[in-house]
Amino acid sequence: MQGKSTASLSAHTPLSRTGTATGHALVTSPHELATRAGLDVLAQGGNAIEAAIAAGAALTVVCPHFCGLGGDAVWMIADGEGRHTSLLGIGQAARDLPRETARIATRGPGSAFTTACLVDSWAAALEYSNRHWQGSKGFASLIAPAHALASEGFTVTASQQHWLDFRAGEWQGWSGFPDLFDTRALRNKPDRFRQPALAKSFRLLAEEGPRGFYEGTLAHALVKGFERTGIPLRAEDLAATRATFAEPLRLGYYGYELLAPPAPTQGMTTLAIMGILERLGIHAAEKEGGDFYHLIVEAIKQAFLVRGAIADPTHEQDAALTQLLPVALDKATQAVDRTRALPWGHSYQHGDTVFLAVTDAQGRSVSMLQSIYFDWGSGVVVGDTGILWQNRAAAFSPDPASPNRPRPGSRPFYTLNPGIALHDGRPQLLYGTQGADGQPQTLAPLLVRMLNHEMSPAEALAAPRFLLGRTFSDGADTLKLERNVSKEVMATLLERGHAVAPIDALSPLCGQAGIVRLDGPETAMSLGAHDPRGEGVAQGLNANAQFPIFSS
């Protein structure tokens, strides 16, 4: 394969993980090597979509616990020419569903009966790039850095080691997993983590193109792996997998237009929260004061109360058609008590993912999330492909009356919802985060801080956050609040009846977000940052230089 190796990627100036990246073009992602893969494409004259594919492919290698070729992706794409679209790379349920769907497994083959649409989303995005953005990069060249990383290896991150340790009592029994991902021997050593089987899969994709994943040599290997491991997917399921473009959901907010992906994602939920907050007059709440936190938490509760109606719109009526109407937002706003917390008990959606954002020198922008659902997905490595399959089927409801019940070819409810804020029709903010249920909860305060309080991306990301409800490690329906809020805020929330459970400042429970702010055609500069709760970085390019610039 032709393209950049890990050695060339590592030749860039070392990146700081604090401060703000600036540039005429910019990439932010959860891993330095992925950020550099995307930036390399921009430096070679590529556009934002091409850079996002390169960065996203690298992330499937260096963040195997959060995303992979066996997973999905949700994209938001926008430019200054009035083109704004969502791209839903969401796999569908098997045509022949498992006999038992009254109880859906969360790990193993029984959790893996949806196809993986990430690779086809790359293909669809690249076609869009060629049609609208004068794209010139070939698919093989864009995935070359990922192939090199899988073949030559990389140093395992603290995040990957953490999630291996966290699931230590489980993964020994996962099919094919220990042989590939037991990296305990590499701990505190300079040895690189290599994935030769995955490298072979990337080589096949480079040779046959992205549809080879669904109808070529790699597809044949995947089907053999499904048969051996008991995953109920067949060749016809892979062949039917297609990413789809869709009109974004839109909401006006204090002079901005917020875009979010439509159902079956929870993009509606994030927009509903923001619509309620504007009606509550969040701009008048004291910056970082008790009202600021109370109103955001209560708006989240109201939006979450109707989230259960979200399902695949090809099988069910689209809930967003009614829930984002002014009358519905007015009703939800009226239900908010400004002085008292609504008691809370809510089902928990688990999920880990990676967010990346790219803007190029022309202001063409991508905001996207890639995921295999739970950390380590289903835990099943498919045959000899090196591909860990997602457990997204676990997001279906086992309730036969639920709009989100599994049906042949249907797509499950999806927590991924990257966003773009427009100003005067042009991309102004690119944002998204890891965190399932926590995604709208993280995005709401970030958006208020950026759009109402005019914080920089780095300032907004470093400010205190919270997580309402249960998590994978805590079954209590508490308001988990980072300790670096003021004592006055803590006291106010307790007085208003919030079940506050303090957690560490910059806690990973509060997700890992990224933000890019485009300052408009006058300066053509962008600011970006990645969450200090993780290991990600943002990096920018000067329009007249083929090297990265970074300001702290």
Q: Which one, of 31, 23, 12, 67, lies nearest residue 48 by Cα?
A: 23
Q: Within 10 A of 11 (CB to CB), how many other CB atoms are there?
A: 11
Torsion of CA 271, 272, 276, 281, to 10 degrees: 0
* CA 84 to chain CA centroid, nearest Å: 19
List, in sequence order, every residue forming a beta bridge with 87; answer none if it has no partner: 75, 245
Which residue in the block uniquely carries the two structure tokens 């910059």?
Answer: 506
Radius of gyration of the chain (CA): 22
DSSP at 253: E
Q: How many CA atoms lie within 13 A of 207 on its CB side?
A: 9
Return the H-helix or E-strand segment holding 207. Answer: helix 196-208
List, in sequence order, every residue forming a beta bridge with 154; answer none if it has no partner: 193
* CA 212 to chain CA centroid, nearest Å: 25
6, amino acid identity: T
Torsion of CA 80, 33, 472, 168, to 10 degrees: 160
Kindly state the tokens that stand for 131: 């049609």
Residue 353 is a catalytic residue: yes
Phi-psi region of 228 (alpha: psi -120 to 50; beta: other; left: phi over 0): alpha
Q: Report, in this order, helix, strand and coil percent for the chain, each rounded to 5.
A: 35, 20, 45
Options 85, 115, 353, 442, the catalytic residue = 353
- Asked if residues 349 and 19 have their Cβ atoms less than 8 Å apart, the reply is no
SS (H, E, C) 354-379: EEEEEECCCCCEEEEEEECCCCCCCC
Q: What number of H helices and E strands is found in the chain?
A: 18, 20
* CA 431 to chain CA centroid, nearest Å: 10
Dihedral (CA of 228, 232, 236, 242) sign: negative
Active-site amino acid positions: 353
